[in-house]
């Protein structure tokens, strides 16, 4: 009998590979293991009962394996999010210290004579530039593109791109990062609320930057700082357009300080 490890469940494959039953709500994903108990790269998709039959387990053991896989995935996501947040926080503190002689955002904002929103926006943009430079350095020389010659990125966003949101009363979970659903949420939030959800890991970096740009260009603002600069990342541009649509912002403000 083959050895397996439960990897989780999926609704992308709905046919059981053991009994052939089709149009299931979802399937259990099992990874095949080699003689040493290591994953060998193979994946199988079974209904719950067939997963138990194939692996020689009980249905309860399959369900326990699914729960453990989901818990492991959530923990891995949390660890990655914490690592990203720690790296960003360290960069921002170092940036404030280098430019204003203090690692504290509020004290740095006082010394700079600007709001914390504007100063943090400038620091985050500096962090983004460092990330982009690091990513570009990993590319092959032939793959590098002269950004100065690039045309502005145009993203076509449909009126309602999410079928779930199109149904009254339905919306994806925040951490699913559905463009339309989270844009709908953010369109109803203020800056402090969005930043709080971003810092807790519920909104992504792209979602946060999109909201801040949409906010900075939605009216005459003298604290917008770097957030008024047009984004160039396609995902951010897409989210900005969705936020503006849900917030009924016809066009960005001409002046954003």
Q: Are residues 97 and 157 in the same domain?
A: no
Q: Does 74 fall in a domain? A: no
Contact 122, 113 (CB under 8 A): no
Range of the domain at 86: 80-150
Q: Are residues 175 and 196 in the same domain?
A: yes
Q: Does 62 fall in a domain? A: no
pLDDT at site 201: 77
All residues at 6 or more sequence positions from 27 whose CB lies less than 8 Å from its CB, including other chains: 9, 10, 13, 14, 15, 16, 45, 46, 47
Contact 32, 3 (CB under 8 A): yes
The DSSP code for 159 is: S
pLDDT at site 15: 94
Q: Does 119 fall in a domain? A: yes
Mark which of 150, 173, 200 sits at the end of a domain: 150
Contact 118, 223 (CB under 8 A): yes
Q: Does 65 fall in a domain? A: no
Contact 53, 59 (CB under 8 A): no
Q: Does 182 fall in a domain? A: yes
Q: Are residues 49 and 87 in the same domain?
A: no
Between CA 128 and CA 110 the distance in angstroms is: 24
pTM of full prediction above 0.85: no
Q: Are residues 96 and 161 in the same domain?
A: no
Q: How many separate domains does the chain show?
A: 3
Per-block mean pLDDT, blocks of 10 residues, the chain (257 long): 90 92 93 91 94 95 94 86 86 92 93 87 84 70 45 46 69 78 88 82 86 79 64 86 83 48
**Strand pairing partners for 45?**
29
Contact 25, 14 (CB under 8 A): yes
Q: Are residues 217 and 198 in the same domain?
A: yes
pLDDT at site 195: 83
CB atoms near residue 176 (< 10 Å): 11
Q: Are residues 197 and 173 in the same domain?
A: yes
Q: Are residues 180 and 238 in the same domain?
A: yes
Q: Are residues 229 and 198 in the same domain?
A: yes
């Amino acid at each position: 009998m083959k050895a397996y490890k439960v990897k989780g469940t999926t609704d992308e494959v709905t046919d059981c590979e053991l009994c052939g039953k089709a149009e299931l709500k979802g399937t259990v994903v099992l990874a095949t293991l080699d003689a040493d108990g290591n994953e060998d790269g193979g994946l199988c998709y079974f209904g719950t009962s067939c997963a138990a039959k194939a692996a020689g387990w009980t249905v309860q053991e399959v369900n326990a394996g699914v729960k453990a896989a989901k818990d492991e995935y959530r923990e891995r996501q949390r660890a990655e999010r914490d690592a990203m947040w720690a790296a960003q926080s360290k960069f921002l503190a170092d940036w404030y210290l280098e430019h204003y002689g203090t690692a504290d955002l509020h004290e740095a904002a006082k010394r700079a004579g600007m709001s914390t929103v504007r100063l943090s926006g400038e620091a985050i943009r500096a962090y983004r530039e460092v990330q982009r430079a690091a990513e570009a350095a990993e590319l092959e020389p032939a793959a590098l593109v002269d950004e100065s010659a690039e045309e502005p990125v145009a993203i076509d966003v449909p009126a309602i791109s999410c079928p779930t949101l199109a149904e009254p009363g339905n919306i994806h979970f925040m951490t699913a990062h559905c463009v339309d659903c989270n844009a709908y949420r953010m369109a109803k939030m203020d800056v402090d609320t969005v930043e709080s959800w971003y810092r807790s890991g519920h909104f992504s970096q792209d979602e946060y930057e999109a909201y801040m740009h949409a906010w900075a260009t939605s009216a005459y603002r003298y604290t917008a700082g770097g957030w008024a600069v047009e984004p160039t990342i396609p995902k951010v541009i897409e989210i900005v357009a969705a936020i503006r649509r849900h917030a009924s912002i016809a066009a960005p403000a001409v002046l954003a300080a």
